[in-house]
Structure 1
Amino acid sequence: MTRLIEGYFSLLKILIAIFLAVMVVLVFGNVVLRYAFDSGITVSEELSRWLFVWLTFLGAIVALREHGHLGVDTVVKRLPRKGKLACLIVSQVLMLYATVLFFQGSWVQTLINWQVTAPASGASVAWLYGVGLVFSISTGLIILDGLRRAVMGDLSDDQLVIVKESEEQEQLEQLQHELAARDGRDVLVRAEPSRGTDR
């Protein structure tokens, strides 16, 4: 099961990279064709816009799993474990509710636009709104798993705070943990020879 989940998120990352590359080619190629040859790629703007929407939502799924979204943790990180746990459970429940609403809206829009065709490509506009379904199902499962782990008590104190105010702060805290762990090992290494000499 773990391999399947990892494979799914690896697929999302590959799709994000492909979508970004196709966007660059379409937009840059269209600019070159317009200025150099007075022509262009008809579907360039439309397809680039759709790919950008898909890329954004797929990236949000990956970021949610990796706790990459930014948030305000000033109060939460100062709370005791029970306070952090309560805040986490409340936030997960609210996120799950919002995800359900998003799924319902995306489902309705996908059905409404099933027969509607895009002007340039002729593809169904439902493909544009369908990303909301992929996003809702994926994030819903991630949130449910996080909620289950929180209720079961499977999370450490550090894992109870799932957002950081800035990426720099997170990097600083990670570096401090690494330095503290290394200093602990250095003290242990220095202490071992001294015990040997006492004997």
Structure 2
Amino acid sequence: MHQHIKRIVQGLTKVLQWLLIAAMALLVLDVVWGVMTRYIGGEQASWTEELARFLLIWVALLGGAVAFDTKSHLGVDYFVGKFETGVRKSLRIFTHFVVLFFAITIFVIGGARVVYDALVLDQTTPALGWKMGHVYLVIPIAGCFMALFTIAHLIETFSGDDEAPQKAD
């Protein structure tokens, strides 16, 4: 059962990593296009700055979820590693529950509320005309990934498989 969950989480992480690579490539192309239109045409295409901002938000939040899963997130694992071996498991469990609480309450529930409110108010972006609720969708999506990864880390901690932090690919 534990190995099955681990494979699912690893597969989701790989998919997220590829999506992040595509989003970063699109972000680079968007910024280059904005610079080219400014210097060649004399005026920057109005939508490039807005798209870059939204892509950066999505990359940051989803990238944070991936970093958390691959244990590359400095704030969570660094301090736990400073304690004695006997205390580490208890601290990891406590840390996982704190992260799970915040992922669910702030990201999933709070983010879903932000998305709902933006959609109800029919807020749209000025240049692209997108619904802001769709832009804000990354908040609960990232929260779901963080919650899922935290649950997988909890299972790993209870089974004793988490003593050596895994490295990012």
TM-score, normalised to structure 1, is 0.72
Structure with the greater alpha carbon radius of gyration: 1
Distance 2:85 2:34 in 1: 56
1:128 maps onto 2:132 in alignment? no
In structure 1, the residue matched to 2:163 is 157
The 1:88–1:111 alpha-carbon spacing in structure 2 relative to 1, beyond 3 Å, is: same
1:15 is displaced (CA, Å) by 1.4
Between the aligned partners of 1:58 and 1:156, the Cα distance in structure 2 is: 23
Equivalences for 1:11-30 in 2 at 5 Å?
11-30=15-34
- Pair 1:147-2:168 in alignment: no
- The answer to whether residue 49 in structure 2 is matched with residue 45 in structure 1 is yes
* Counterpart residue identity of residue 22, structure 1: L
Secondary structure of residue in 2 paired with 1:157 = coil
Q: Is the 8 A contact 2:156 2:162 kept in 1?
A: no
| Alignment partner, residue 11 of structure 2 | 7
Paired residues, number: 159
The C-alpha deviation readout for 1:105-144, integer Å capped at 9, x for no partner, is: 1011000111211111111101221101111111101111
**Kept in 2: contact 1:26–1:41 (CA 8 A):** no
- Displacement of 1:16 in angstroms is 1.0
Q: C-alpha separation between the residues in 1 aligned to 2:68 and 2:80?
A: 21
Relative contact order (C-alpha < 8 Å, sep 6+): which is higher?
Answer: 2
Kindly provide the CA deviation profile for residues 37-77 of structure 1, in whole angstroms up to 9, marking residues without a partner as x.
21332211111100000011111111111100113746743
Q: CA deviation at 1:3?
A: 5.3
> SS at the partner of 1:77?
coil
Q: Structure 1 stretch 69-78 or stretch 55-64: which is displaced more?
A: 69-78
Q: Deviations over 1:158-198 (max 9, x none)?
A: 35xx8xxxxxxx9xxxxxxxxxxxxxxxxxxxxxxxxxxxx
The answer to whether the Cα contact below 8 Å between 2:96 and 2:154 also exists between their aligned partners in 1 is yes
Q: Structure 1 residue 80: deviation in Å?
A: 3.0
Q: Do residues 113 (structure 1) and 118 (structure 2) align?
A: yes
Identity %: 23
Instruction: Name stretches of at least 5 consecutive residues in structure 1 with no aligned partner.
Output: 163-169, 171-199
Off by >4 Å, runs of 4+ in structure 1: 1-4
Q: Output the amino acid matched with 2:37.
A: L
Alignment partner, residue 109 of structure 2: 104
